[in-house]
A and B are shown apart, each in its own frame.
Chain A
């Protein structure tokens, strides 16, 4: 069964550093989402991506965030200058007949 993969599984970074989180969605899917889950809280939508551009974004997705699909397979989320409050689990989802979630990347900002 096809699955969504994410790397790295855990990223530790210093405040102010840039991080890139990577996702490989399911190959014939066209819509992809990023979600965030702060520890102990609910899952929140960040951004959706279709046809190589952002189709929708939430208030959380400010100028520090960007997404791209550089090579037709990987789907990346970049945080330009991390803040302590960016510490969270970041999930990529690939959309078919339902939303298929990746295993997540735990980002820890020190």
Chain B
């Protein structure tokens, strides 16, 4: 059974600081996703990582994937208040293509002045 673990679950950081959120998963997978969710809202797709060593950046967020370590990171650079949200990683099941995503518990990020 595929398990996805995120840490930390809660993160309070000051504006301007850097931090990394970690996502570990238990079995081989082809794709890893990062989503952002604002309170009461849907899931906004941030990144889709498809291969070992993949790195994608969008603004102050950068995601990477190490399939050998079964680890993805979401790095936040110089945080600003607008980044406050819950961030989920999700992994396709084995032999992906059309398999349901397994989500981590989410990291609730709060950026404070």
Contacts and interface: CB of A to CB of B under 8 A. Distances in A.
Counting contact residues on chain A (CB < 8 A from B), the size range is 20 to 34
Interface on chain A toward B: helix, strand, loop, or mixed SS? strand
Contact of A101 (B40, B42, B104, B105): B42
A42 B105 contact: yes
Contacts of A56: 99-100
Interface string A73-107: 00000000000000001010001001111111010
Contact of A103 (B42, B45, B48, B100): B42
Counting contact residues on chain B (CB < 8 A from A), the size range is 20 to 34
Contacts of A35: 100-101
24 contacts: A35-B100, A35-B101, A42-B88, A42-B103, A42-B104, A42-B105, A42-B106, A43-B43, A43-B88, A43-B90, A43-B101, A44-B103, A45-B102, A50-B98, A55-B98, A56-B99, A56-B100, A91-B43, A95-B98, A98-B45, A99-B101, A100-B45, A102-B42, A103-B42
Interface string A38-52: 000111110010100
Interface of A: 31, 33, 35, 41-45, 48, 50, 55-56, 58, 89, 91, 95, 98-104, 106
